Structure formats: structure tokens, C-alpha cells
Structure 1
């Protein structure tokens, strides 16, 4: 039986430079020029910027960058997000219920899907296709929350967005909830950095999170430049921070922000 064609359009792909190709989207495949990619073999999907231009990057063994006409970008992104290779569960979700510890007044429960790939998880609804990388996940737990006027067991996900700790909630049958908790815990443990911080390192991590630069931290903790550099190297090597300036200025990665969130609750 011939597959239904949902879309046929001229787009660009990036391979050291932009190349014009035809895209054909069917029920089961993306045909990009001469390359046929089954949707169920797409391992992940994300929006990226290339040369300041908003693009879609799909992963199937290698990564393929696609640039759509603006009027097609969201349509194709949504279609792939709903159909890529992932474990997908019917749920109700409250995405970004709190941001930086403050309840979000605009957050609303949505009916949709919670989708999990090897590198991230998704909140999917007709209006919302939100991907959170596993490296941004801070914690996974179940808790009782008010849902529809009743106290119900939900999955509480702490994750990092733009250097803020965000909490999202997932509600579904309890058996599915427990399975999701275990599934995400295993993914989280697989990806998180293995490091035990000293008191000095926890203090330095917290000061970086507060926005202080190298010289200010050096004065506050009373360390020499070489000694503080050694601590910075350890934070970078462990995946808790990344270098943003040649003079070893660093900013925290999502793991680092999550660590500060845990330290502040001690």
C-alpha cells in the first residue's frame, strides 16, 4: 500500500555549508534528497542554531541538520517529535509548575504524552512539544500533590532551564508512575557525573551559581589563584561546570545547578 504523503517541500541541509534538497514526509519516513530515514529509527530530535539560524537536528547514528521555511518549522518538528523512536506514555502533565522555587501562575495541566528517549524526555501535547535533555535532570521522585481538588500521587521532575531549577509534574496510573520513576532514575544515574564534593568545593559551586567572577571568589574563600584554578579544573573535569572565558571563568552546567539546589536544602 502506498504511504500517505503529509508534506513535500524544498528545504536546506547543513554539511559544512547549506545544500538545497527536497523533503518528503510520509506516515513512516522522512525522505531527504536521496536519503530515506524511517521515523522509528530517529533516536532524538532538538532545535539548534546554526549560523544564527533556527534549525532542527535529528539523530540517527549521525546527526542531520534541517532548515525549514519558517511556516513549516513547527509543523515538521511536531510531527517528528510525536513519531520518533521513543517510549511514549499517555499522561497528564504540568510543565514548569515552579521556576526557581516560585509557583508559575501560567502553568496548566495538559493531556498528552510523556515520551522518553536515550538522551532526553518530552512533554507532548497538541500545543506543547518540550524536550528536556537527561543531563538537565536534577532529581526524580513521587509525591502527593493537588490534582483536580484531590491529593494524588504524581511524578515530580526537577530539571534545569536557563540556569534556573524548574519543577514539572506528571500524573498517570500509579503502576505507570512507578515504572517511569524507575526508568528515569536509571537514565539519570547512567548520565550524572560521579563526584563527591568537599566543603570548599560546595562553597565554590554555590558562589559561582550566585554570579561571582573568579577574582571575587578568590577573595571570599581566601585561596591563591593556583589553588582556586585547581578546584575549577576539578569542577570542569567532573561535568559540573564549563569554561566560558580563557581566564578560566566558568559557569555551571545543569548538573552543577542541580547540585547547588541540593546543597541549599541541606
Structure 2
């Protein structure tokens, strides 16, 4: 199990600690001293250099950890790829359009899309992008020119820094239709529980 340095919030104060990252679990070291199976994680939210990790239960339990961007990126990747979420392998371009203007150097990235309790995550070797479900303003099944031919894609409009941005997802049409329907439901019912998500192995 790889160990990384973090600060963990305990009783409203930050405590220097470590997190062990394993294949199927993370371990919060002292003073929490807790094993968390990755499948029990239903949500993560990122704010600046902190991650809020939500673990299923009645009620759900939340843990806040802080660290340097490199450590948080490794932690996010492991959690997003193994937690309870609707997840599939896909190509994505996010953001592709910002404020009505094509983003310079925007390109298709090969990776995964995961829909968690509060956000849509795009993950590739180079990127980890989160779109909070509350910021999604529109979802549409449309076509876009890819490698010179019209291809079906899911278009996601979302608010970013006060302006509207657009991201695209590309995968086989049957999967695309399922993703579109799932995203429509996810953004319609903001209070859905992680237990209701249909886990799909990435």
C-alpha cells in the first residue's frame, strides 16, 4: 500500500497524517485510523487543495483531506476509477467551448467518465476534470465532426467561472444513449443517493 502525506480534518482542526492507497481501499492513518473500501465511497468533491470524501452509511460519513496537487490527483484517480458510480470508458473534450468560443488546443482525451452523487468527472492520464451536477445547464445528444465525419456525441453545457462552457463525450452509440439518459436523470434528481447508481466496471 502506497502512503502519501496529507492533513485530515478531525473535530474542526487539521491534523498532519498519511493516507495509504491500495487497490481496493484507502487507509486513513492516526488519529482516524480507518480502512475505507473504495466501493463504499459514493462521492468526492474538490475545493482548492482539499477533497471531501463521502462514505455510504446512515447517515453518510464525510472526511476532508488536504495535500499538494500531485497527491490529491493520485488519490482522486484511484477513488474515481473504483468508487460506487456510473462509469464508462470514453473519449471526452472538456471544455471544448468556453463563452461561445472554441477552446484553443482542445482535443479528444481517452479516458473515463464517472457520474458521482454531486458531479461528473472526466479522467485521463493527463487530466481530472469535475463538473458539479448543479452547474450543468443542458445535456443533448447531438452530432459533431470527428476526424472528418459526423459522429454522435453527448453535449454537456455547464457554468464555469460565471460563463457557459461546453464539453463533449464520445463513445459507441448504444452506450452513448445510456449515458445520455443517465445524465438527464442525474441532473434532474439532484438528491439521488449513491446506492441508486448502477455501478459499471470501468
**TM-score interval, smaller chain:** 0.7 to 0.9
Q: In the alignment, is the contact (CA less than 8 A) between 2:54 and 2:63 conserved in 1? A: yes
Cα distance change, pair 118–55 in 1 and its aligned pair in 2 (3 A)? closer
Matched residue, 1:28: 24
Change (3 A) 1:46 1:171: same
Q: Comparing both structures, which one devotes a greater share of its residues to strand?
A: 2
Counterpart Cα distance in 2 of 1:188 and 1:136: 9
Distance in 1 between the 2:129 and 2:120 partners? 8
Cα distance in 1 for partners of 2:188, 2:101 equals: 27
The more displaced of 11-20 and 152-161 is 11-20
Asked whether the equivalents of residues 53 and 62 of structure 2 are also in contact (C-alpha less than 8 Å), the reply is yes
Deviation of 1:137 (Å): 0.7
Q: How many residues align?
A: 183
Change (3 A) 1:35 1:99: same
Q: Aligned residue for 1:113?
A: 112
Give the equivalent residue in structure 1 for 2:6: 11
Q: Which runs of 5+ in 1 are unaligned?
A: 193-266
**Residues 154 and 27 (structure 1), Cα distance of their counterparts in 2 relative to 1, 3 Å cut:** same
1:116 shift after superposition: 1.0
Contact 1:81–1:129, Cα closer than 8 Å, also in 2: no
2:51 alignment counterpart: 56
More helix by share: 1
Q: Which has the larger radius of gyration?
A: 1
Q: 3-state DSSP class of the match of 1:90?
A: strand
Q: Tell me the TM-score normalized by structure 2.
A: 0.84
Using CA pairs under 8 Å that are at least 6 residues apart, name the structure with larger relative contact order, 1 or 2: 2
List gaps (5 residues or longer) in structure 2: 192-202
Q: Kindly tell me: are residues 66 and 155 of structure 1, through their superposed partners in 2, closer, same or farther at Cα, counting changes over 3 Å? A: same
Query: Are 1:125 and 2:132 matched, yes or no?
Result: no
After alignment, is 64-73 or 127-136 more displaced?
Answer: 64-73
Counterpart contact for 2:3–2:18, Cα < 8 Å:
yes
Q: 1:185 to 1:71 in 2, by over 3 A?
A: closer
Counterpart CA distance in 1 for 2:26 and 2:9 is: 16
Aligned partners of 1:111, 1:9: CA distance in 2, in Å? Answer: 27
TM-score by length of 1: 0.65
Once the two structures are TM-superposed, the CA of residue 64 in structure 1 deviates from its matched residue by 0.7
Provide the residue aligned with 2:103 in structure 1. Answer: 104
Q: 1:188 aligns to what SS in structure 2?
A: helix
Tell me the residue number matched to 2:190: 191
Contact 1:143 1:154 in 2 (8 A): yes
Between the aligned partners of 1:108 and 1:62, the Cα distance in structure 2 is 37
Deviations for 1:82-127, whole angstroms, at most 9, x for unmatched residues? 2222121111111111101111122111111111112211111111
